[in-house]
């Protein structure tokens, strides 16, 4: 279908919930019944393919899907020729080397001549090459963390998020070799028509992402400190200032990034700001 695009998302797992949430926040409505392999949106020209994450880079590269949402770890490991359109900021994790807790770790040369179990032989192989370390890579598809305790390998290279899986298996993280988050990928040969639809989707995703990074701030301030307050929260163009019923006071409304808000809160209070409300923004189009 030329007047519609197809996006591959993970069927079930650590990426699926956030992927679908992002699409819904873009105002796209679709039915996602359990066990469904395909679905079509009712109010946007997009069709969904629900797949295992391992298959997503390949399906996008081959053009079975036009777009896909996948972890950078899986994308780099599969080494497929696709375009990364956007980092999505969720499913953040790292790929790390780990060894038994009882071992002393002198540095990366520890792994010279050793066996390392991993599901990411390409990323690990490339890393070891840059470090000029020769090690034996054992590719296994799951439960990598038990490899040292069953004598399969001296070390592992696996995804780490909180670190509790390593800890529970008596391992310690010694090198972080790759950082990952979910990304939106695209087939390289999309038609002009499909690219237009992709641009519409990206525009919506940008608005959602900007909204998440920013907050709407409302506060009351004595009129004599308005100049200071406006300089602290300059907003998108400039803040809205409305007089309060009480003479000498105004209400200031502005948009600021959450990080900036925490940096400026003390100065705002020192300048006399009171009744500060911070409200989430759903979407933001600049
Ligand atoms: O069935 P399918 O093949 O689709 O899914 P999957 O089982 O291969 O992948 P899934 O759903 O587990 O993860 C999908 C993606 O989420 C990964 O490719 C990463 O990009 C990302 N991600 C984020 C993670 C984690 N966090 C994570 N913690 N992927 C895996 N883990 C595992 C890790 O393998 C280890 O077993 O969680 C454990 C470590 O977690 P901590 O918190 O104990 O350190
Ligand atoms: Zn997978």
CA distance readout (Å), 36 to 16, 39, 88, 111, 243: 13, 7, 24, 44, 55
Q: Whose CA is nearest to atom 14 of ligand 1?
A: 14
Please check whether residue 100 is in contact with residue 170, taking contact to mean a CB–CB distance below 8 angstroms: yes
Residue 91 CA, closest ligand 1 atom number:
23
Pocket test for ligand 1, best of 141, 161, 180 (most atoms within 8 A of CB): 161
**3-class DSSP assignment, residue 44:** coil
Give the pLDDT of residue 36: 83
Mutate to test the pocket of ligand 1, among 15, 141, 159 (most ligand atoms within 8 A of CB): 159
Q: Residue 75, class by beta-carbon neighbours within 10 Å (0-12 exposed, 13-18 middle, 19+ buried)?
A: buried
Identify the pLDDT of residue 236: 82
**pLDDT of 33:** 72
Q: Which tokens sit at 6? A: 């197809």
Of the listed ligands, the closest to the CA of 16 is 1
Are 268 and 276 a contacting pair, CB within 8 Å? yes
Is residue 74 in contact with ligand 1, taking CB distance under 6 Å?
yes
Side-chain half-sphere exposure of 194, counting CA atoms within 13 A: 18
Ligand 1 in reach of 163 Cβ (< 6 A): yes
27 close to ligand 1 (CB < 6 Angstrom): no
Cα(52) to ligand 2 centroid in Å equals 6
Assess whether the C-beta atom of 212 lies below 6 angstroms from ligand 1.
no
- For residue 260, the model assigns a pLDDT of 84
Cβ(118)–Cβ(137) below 8 Å: yes
54 CB less than 6 Å from ligand 1? Answer: yes
Q: Which of 154, 129, 156 is nearest to 145 (CA)?
A: 156
Neighbours of ion ligand 2 (CB under 5 A): 53-54
User: Which atom from ligand 1 is nearest to the alpha carbon of 160?
Assistant: 44
Q: How far is the CA of 6 from the centre of ligand 1 (A)?
A: 24
pLDDT along the chain (286 residues), means of 10: 89 96 96 84 97 97 98 98 97 98 97 98 98 98 96 97 98 98 98 98 96 94 96 89 96 91 89 95 90
Instruction: Name residues whose C-beta falls within 8 Å of residue 137's C-beta, 6 or more positions apart in sequence.
Output: 116, 118, 121, 124, 125, 128
**Pick from 143, 160, 142, 152: which is nearest to 116 by CA?**
152
Instruction: Give me the pLDDT at residue 1, please.
Output: 54
Q: pLDDT at position 2, please?
A: 64
Residue whose CA is closest, atom 9 of ligand 1? Answer: 13
Q: Is 16 in the pocket of ligand 1 (CB under 6 A)?
A: no
Q: Which ligand is nearest to the CA of 74?
A: 1
């Amino acid at each position: 279908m030329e007047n519609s695009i197809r996006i591959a998302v993970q069927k079930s797992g650590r990426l699926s919930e956030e992927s679908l949430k992002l699409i819904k926040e873009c105002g796209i409505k679709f039915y996602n019944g359990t066990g469904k392999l395909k679905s079509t949106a009712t109010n946007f020209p997009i069709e969904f393919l629900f797949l295992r994450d391992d298959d997503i880079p390949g399906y996008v590269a081959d053009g079975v899907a036009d777009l896909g949402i996948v972890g950078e770890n899986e994308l780099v490991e599969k080494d497929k020729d696709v375009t990364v359109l956007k980092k999505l900021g969720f499913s953040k994790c790292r790929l790390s080397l780990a060894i038994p807790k009882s071992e002393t770790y002198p540095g990366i040369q520890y792994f010279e001549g050793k066996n390392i179990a991993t599901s990411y032989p390409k990323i690990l192989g490339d890393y070891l090459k840059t470090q000029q370390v020769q090690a034996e890579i054992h590719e296994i598809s799951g439960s990598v963390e038990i490899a040292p305790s069953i004598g399969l390998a001296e070390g592992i290279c696996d995804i780490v998020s909180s670190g509790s899986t390593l800890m529970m298996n008596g391992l310690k993280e010694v090198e972080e070799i790759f950082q990952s988050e979910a990304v939106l990928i695209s087939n390289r040969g999309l038609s002009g028509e499909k690219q237009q639809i992709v641009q519409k989707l990206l525009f919506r995703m940008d608005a959602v992402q900007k909204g998440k990074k920013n907050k709407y701030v409302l506060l009351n301030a004595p009129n004599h400190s308005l100049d200071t307050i406006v300089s602290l929260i300059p907003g998108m163009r400039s803040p809205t200032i409305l007089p309060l019923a009480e003479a000498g006071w105004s209400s200031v409304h502005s948009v600021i990034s959450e990080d900036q808000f925490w940096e400026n809160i003390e100065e705002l209070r020192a300048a006399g700001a009171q009744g500060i409300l911070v409200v989430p923004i759903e979407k933001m189009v600049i």
